[in-house]
Structure 1
Amino acid sequence: MDAYDEDSQALRGPDGSTGARRPEDPEHQEAPVRPASGDPDGSPSTGSPPPVPRRTGVAALSPRYQVGAAVALAVVAVAACVHLGMVFLSLAPANTVTKQHGKAIEEWVYPEFEQNWKLFAPNPLQQNIAVQARAEVRMKDGNVRTTAWNDLSAQDGAAIDGSLLPSHTEQNEVRRGWDFFVATHGADNRPVGMRGALSEQYVRRIVVMRLNRDDAISREGVIQRVQVRSSTTNVQPPKWSREKISDKPVFRLLPWWTVGDEEAAGGAR
């Protein structure tokens, strides 16, 4: 017979078998075609690992600094809770805690954080109260000069007039300091209770700081003594009201206060 079978046109071997490759023969199976790219889906490969997300905030710090930040946040949180608790107890009715720790609560709250509810009282404040101060100043030549009266309240009013974001200090430092003084002193200007001396020191430091900053004579010398007074003027009723009240200011004059060396040297600034 011919080497090729006429029907199958396949090459036969010596044993009569054809040379056609069988699909089930592993040696003759064709290897599957793989994508040219290194990625399974055939997309182009960049050859670099995927980007690592960048850490921000506290997570970007080293472990040591993360511990420090956590401790600082914990201290701030504890201080905020203590402050809110103290203010709440100062406003709450008398209870066991305020009776046992009343002094500690007052020392924490007064005078900087004292709360005032006169705006919502049945009879709101109907007076304009201005705090004024003057000083005896020892000049460089040894002479002592007395300054004119400085209206601290008017200075604060001018500073916040027209301001969209007025300073809390400019609005309340002098006003609350004077309220603190009046609440702890009698009509004879003598202290009443344990906080009287503290209120005097607080007001005196404010006055010395303001005069050293705003008064020309005080800036040229050293303040020896200061004197404070208040000017109270009634708010006039509306035109349609028949109420008649005086429009003349009433002054409350305090005695001269000696300024300590630390305050005179600028320690109150």
Structure 2
Amino acid sequence: MKTFTTIIIGIVALVSMQIPAKTNDKLMANGLSKADIESIQYMREEEKLAHDVYTFYTGQYDIPIFRNISRSETALAEDTFLKPLFGEMQTLSDQITEAIKRDRILSAMEDADAEVETATRALNAVLKGYSAMPLDLYSTAGKALYDVMAKYKLKILRLNYADQSSNIEALLMDLAAPALQPHINALPGVTDAIGNVRTAQTNFTAKRVAYEKAMALNAEGATASELKKPLLELINARLVPYLKVSKMVSPDTHTHFADAVAQVIATTNTAIRRRSGKNPEEPPAEEQ
């Protein structure tokens, strides 16, 4: 069973994540709002920060501030204020974790889209190069294939996901025409270049289906950024003030846990300031 200390480590790590001020234009073109996209796009470095903080603390229980935690956890588990509070915090934490899983699916889809773009640009470059070669054997076949490619142009890569996919599929269908096979066979590397586009597009389609399913299953769920606000409120407005008072009133049962929570929060704040380029030794504004 998770102790209060283990729970607070994971929760503080989760709420330390930040949302980048950017949007995904291809998703917005599909109908999602800017707020929707900003809510589900977490920086991977911030996910790594949360993971690093959690891993550090769960592996460092022998440092002085944590040595006596086990003795006080039994009493803390029956604390009439902490028990329901941690229940609320754990529920919100679990919901944030599920939201982050959806974010990872989005990241996988974006990576797959980047592979489609790379493969399509490479195919365009190969066909354009063959069409400009001075050797008729290559230029004739190259021009025939590049004429097909030129109908679509690279601007299809700037379309939203649905329209881009439709155009890529149409391009591949056109290039599969029997009349073009002799030209494809005559140009070394073209078969592989077309195959790379097909592989990348198939992979992207699978990732997009997974993303759409995840969004459909959680259409009514709150976003991770929305869940962070009440979770931070529980920590800052209820947990921290209560522990400060309890440390004075019941030092035997609450001191070690209160100090551990303070250290988790302080170390996380330091890590965030360091990653943001601020002086890690400089305390937050409210501490100055």
Q: Which bin holds the TM-score, normalised by the shorter protein?
A: under 0.3
TM score, norm. by length of structure 2: 0.17
TM score, norm. by length of structure 1: 0.18
Larger strand share, 1 or 2: 1
**Higher relative contact order, chain-length normalized (CA < 8 Å, sep 6+):** 2
